[in-house]
Amino acid sequence: MTIVLPIRLFAFEISLQKEARNKKQSFLTREEVIEIGKSLRLDDESDIDEALQYLHNVTIILYYHDVLPNIIFVDPEPILDVLSLLIAITYVEQSKLHLIAKVSNSERLRLKDCGLFEEDLLKKIGQRKKIFDQDFESSHMIKLLKHLHIIAEVKNKKEKEDDHHHIVTDTENKEKIEYFFPCALPSYDELKAPSTEIQPLLIAWEINKSGTIRTESLAIPQGLFPLTIVHLLEREDVDFNERFYRCLDAMSLCVNDEYTINIINRCTHIEIRFYDEKKYCSEIRKLVEDAIKNSGNDLKVSKKYSLVFAFKCPQNEQSYCIVKEDNSSTRCKCQPQCKVLQGDDDNSYRCWFSDYQSSSPGTKASSEDPPTKKRRLELTTDASPAQPHQDSTTVNPDSDGAGQLSKNWHGLIIMPLIIFTFHQDTINSLAVFPNISTGNGATCS
């Protein structure tokens, strides 16, 4: 990718890199940057701020003024190192953990099985790799990762680790703050059978190549799923549901402490399963849709791709019934058309769009509050458990530029989690971090 830089900004950027190398650091403080700017006749701090923002926008430096106003990353290496080492902790044998950091087995299991860690774990990694200092501390890293929606804050009261159960009552009754890092989790081994009362809803981007709508081409950008989960967990009304999935590619969440949604990464689309009353489906749809849109914005998904809803085609497992813009009808490749929304006698499809179809038979747009009675959901195991790749379309979404992203620092920060290839302004996803089998043990409550 070619970046056009004004000559003074080019000199400024070179000076920043040179100063960082001289200090053997990958970042500079704002005071250091101001001094460099003055030497290049950037006398006003407003001029320096504009220069920093420009260099950040064209991905030459990393500068998040809102959360880390005193730190300018000339190189993202420390952030990448921390994320890489966090993931490495989950698959390195206990006997070799000292090569990464002095991590206890309970800390390792807590991260591997639950995706949870405390700031102290970052400090241990930083001490071993000499990442943090008085200007860039572990707390700064936490702020940055939260700002980028890579981790979510989770508060567990009156808990701490022990050797057997990993969590015991805190004798000092202090509140412990943990952070949820979904990319540290293992992939699922199998999925339960979806409900027949409510058909799973699919969300993805539809590929429109050369102006032609191709109904079989759905895709999601790599990295979207963990971002979506973090966005959801940042809400006050969403929490984990401990009875089902907590995996790299499948997550069970509880909304308003009352009802459960399962969100599954199918590589070409996100699948939403809901097992409660049908009248709440439209609210669940909106909740997840907003989180996916926010995640797409984080990843700079090209506006030329359209976010669509869909269902698996009942006549052809390799195809989709895509919901039209009116949210009341569908289109697919089948002849005759499936018309799953129009001919939905049991309301198993149409319930997802009841807010658009209040006049349709068997549906009613509801403004009622969520159920006040908690539901205990019992699912039966699918006879042929689906794997992440099994619901893929016959068309390779990457060949169409699925998940086209602008080259940006957010993509670079997720790089240890997902392997990216940069080609001009397009990121083509190559591979998800290898599957990790679930270990025995940590209690995730």
pLDDT of 390 reads 32
| Residue 360 pLDDT grade (very low, low, confident, very high; cuts 50, 70, 90) | very low
State yes or no: pLDDT of 184 exceeds 50: yes
Non-local (6+) Cβ contacts of 239 within 8 A are 233, 253, 254, 257
175-184, 329-338, 401-410: segment of lowest average pLDDT: 401-410
pTM reported for the whole predicted model: 0.76
Q: Is the domain of 178 the same as that of 138?
A: yes
Which has the higher per-residue pLDDT, 28 or 335?
Answer: 28
State yes or no: pLDDT of 435 exceeds 50: no
Q: Is the domain of 69 the same as that of 86?
A: no
Q: Is the domain of 312 the same as that of 414?
A: yes
| Residue 292 pLDDT grade (very low, low, confident, very high; cuts 50, 70, 90) | very high
- Final residue before a domain boundary, out of 19, 50, 73: 73
- Does 299 reside within a domain? yes
Assigned token pair, 95? 């006997």
Percent of the chain residues topping a pLDDT of 90: 38
pLDDT of 437 reads 28
Q: What is the mean pLDDT of residues 73-95?
A: 87
**Highest mean pLDDT pick, 241-245, 360-364, 418-422, 433-437:** 241-245
Q: Is the domain of 60 the same as that of 82?
A: no
Q: Is the domain of 232 the same as that of 338?
A: yes
pLDDT of 399 reads 33
- Residue 297 is part of which domain span? 201-379+387-432
State yes or no: pLDDT of 438 exceeds 80: no
Four-residue CA torsion sign, 325, 330, 333, 335: negative
- Does 397 reside within a domain? yes
Q: Is the domain of 284 the same as that of 352?
A: yes
State yes or no: pLDDT of 382 exceeds 80: no
The phi-psi region of residue 173 (left if phi > 0; otherwise alpha if psi is between -120 and 50; otherwise beta) is: left
Q: What is the 3-class SS of the chain, one letter each residue?
A: CCCCCCHHHHHHHHHHHHHHHHCCCCEEEHHHHHHHHHHCCCCCHHHHHHHHHHHHHCCCCECCCCCCCCEEECCCHHHHHHHHHHHHHCCCCHHHHHHCCCCCHHHHHHHHHHCEECHHHHHHHHHHHCCCCCCCCHHHHHHHHHHCCCCEEEEEECEECCCCCCCEECCCCCEEEEEECHHHCCCCCCCECCCCCCCCEEEEEEEEECCEEEEEEEECCCCHHHHHHHHHHCCCCEEECCCCCECCCEEEEEECCCEEEEEEECCCCEEEEECCCHHHHHHHHHHHHHHHHHHHHHCCECCCCEEEEEEECCCCCCCEEEECCCCCCEECCCCCCCCCCCCCCCCCCHHHHCCCCCCCCCCCCCCCCCCCCCCCCCCCECCCCCCCCCCCCCCCHHHHCCCCECCCHHHHHCCCCEEEEEECCEEEEEEECCCCCCCCCCCCC
Structural domains of the chain, count: 3
Q: What is the mean pLDDT of residues 423-434?
A: 26
| Residue 430 pLDDT grade (very low, low, confident, very high; cuts 50, 70, 90) | very low
Q: Is the domain of 361 the same as that of 292?
A: yes
153-157, 320-324, 403-407: segment of lowest average pLDDT: 403-407
Residue 279: alpha-carbon gap to chain centroid: 28
- C-alpha to C-alpha distance for 366 and 358, rounded to whole angstroms: 9
- Does 196 reside within a domain? no
Q: What is the mean pLDDT of residues 441-445?
A: 63
CATH number at residue 50: 1.10.10.10
Which has the higher per-residue pLDDT, 326 or 160?
Answer: 326
Q: Is the domain of 306 the same as that of 247?
A: yes
- C-alpha to C-alpha distance for 43 and 39, rounded to whole angstroms: 8
State yes or no: pLDDT of 113 exceeds 50: yes
- Does 221 reside within a domain? yes
- Does 132 reside within a domain? yes
- pLDDT (tens digit, 9 = 90+) per residue, 166-179? 444 444 445 679 99
Q: Is the domain of 121 the same as that of 30?
A: no
pLDDT of 146 reads 95
Q: Is the domain of 391 the same as that of 256?
A: yes
Assigned token pair, 178? 């943990």
Assigned token pair, 426? 């397009």
Q: Is the domain of 24 the same as that of 130?
A: no
- Does 442 reside within a domain? no
pLDDT of 131 reads 83
Non-local (6+) Cβ contacts of 367 within 8 A are none
Residue 245: alpha-carbon gap to chain centroid: 16
4-18, 37-51, 418-432: segment of lowest average pLDDT: 418-432
What mean pLDDT value characterizes the chain?
76
- Does 22 reside within a domain? yes
Q: Is the domain of 287 the same as that of 427?
A: yes
**Highest mean pLDDT pick, 61-75, 150-164, 335-349, 408-422:** 61-75
pLDDT of 429 reads 29
- Final residue before a domain boundary, out of 15, 48, 73: 73
Q: What is the mean pLDDT of residues 50-74?
A: 91
pLDDT of 118 reads 94
- Final residue before a domain boundary, out of 29, 54, 73: 73
State yes or no: pLDDT of 282 exceeds 90: yes
State yes or no: pLDDT of 110 exceeds 90: yes
24-38, 200-214, 224-238, 271-285: segment of lowest average pLDDT: 200-214
- pLDDT (tens digit, 9 = 90+) per residue, 306-323? 899 999 988 888 888 899
Distances (CA, A) of 320 to 220, 274, 401: 15, 19, 19
pLDDT of 187 reads 93
Which has the higher per-residue pLDDT, 408 or 131?
Answer: 131
